[in-house]
Structure 1
């Protein structure tokens, strides 16, 4: 189980407002494909990935 609390932070980063109190949720074993982020394609990440592959 995971506990999630949703809150909002103003632009200054000082004041917060609770949007939703703590709630117990069950994490997904495997996220849906639509919620999976694509791999980073920046030069730093692609060079590191290429070095790892060789």
Structure 2
């Protein structure tokens, strides 16, 4: 199993927090964790690239 770790600081961390809040508000269900947020953003990125 692979693992991916990222640490965000400053403006990037604030932006990630804001995006998590936005996803919670705009998508069905909720984004319970940072990992779930990243999975959701990966899904959205893949959709936009297809």
> Do the structures match in fold with TM over 0.5?
no
The structure with the larger Rg is 1
Greater share of residues in strand: 1
TM-score, normalised to structure 2, is 0.30
Q: Which has the higher contact order (CA 8 A, sep 6+)?
A: 1
